[in-house]
Structure 1
Amino acid sequence: MSEPLPVVMENSIQIAWDYLERTGDLGDPSVASKVLLESVEKLVRRGERRVLMLSNTAIRDYKKFCADRSLELVT
């Protein structure tokens, strides 16, 4: 039996959040929550329902967002 979509999204974001927090990569919580939610929501709209796929992609997207943001500050 599969979990309801809001639970899948919440679990995915929580896994990503916990990972980023443990690694010290979390940064500004309001920015992190926005980026993680947008990433998970985008994949869910495409039909993805696997929690680990959603959380891993959200982590990757957040790290890319932070790296891009750092490059903008340098230039």
Structure 2
Amino acid sequence: MSIRCTVESAFFIAWSFLEQSGELGPPDESANVILDAIEAQLKTGERRQLMLANRAIDAYRAHAAKSRRSPDRETRTG
């Protein structure tokens, strides 16, 4: 199987899972996070579709959690 097919399959698995679970955020940002995670794994030699997808899901969840924790707006007190 070609790298392109592997990436497409892993991306589709991760995207579908996150979409069905209701965790998927803005499409452009979500796609970038998933693809970046897959690309990083490919650079280490990983080629298993499910491993690529599962780690991309974990990376997406970590990114989403970090985004929720970092305040994008000023908090008012008093």
| Structure-2-length-normalised TM-score | 0.90
Residues 32-67 of structure 1: per-residue CA shift (max 9 Å, x gap)? 000000000000011000000000000000000000
CA root-mean-square deviation: 1.3
* Distance of 1:17 and 1:25 partners within structure 2: 10
Runs of 4+ in 1 over 4 A off after TM superposition: none
Give the structure 2 partner of residue 6 of structure 1: 4
Does 2:48 match 1:56? no
* Distance of 1:29 and 1:63 partners within structure 2: 14
Larger radius of gyration: 2
| Structure 2: unaligned runs, 5 residues or longer | none
Does 2:66 match 1:71? no
Aligned residues: 73
| Structure 1: unaligned runs, 5 residues or longer | none
% same residue = 36
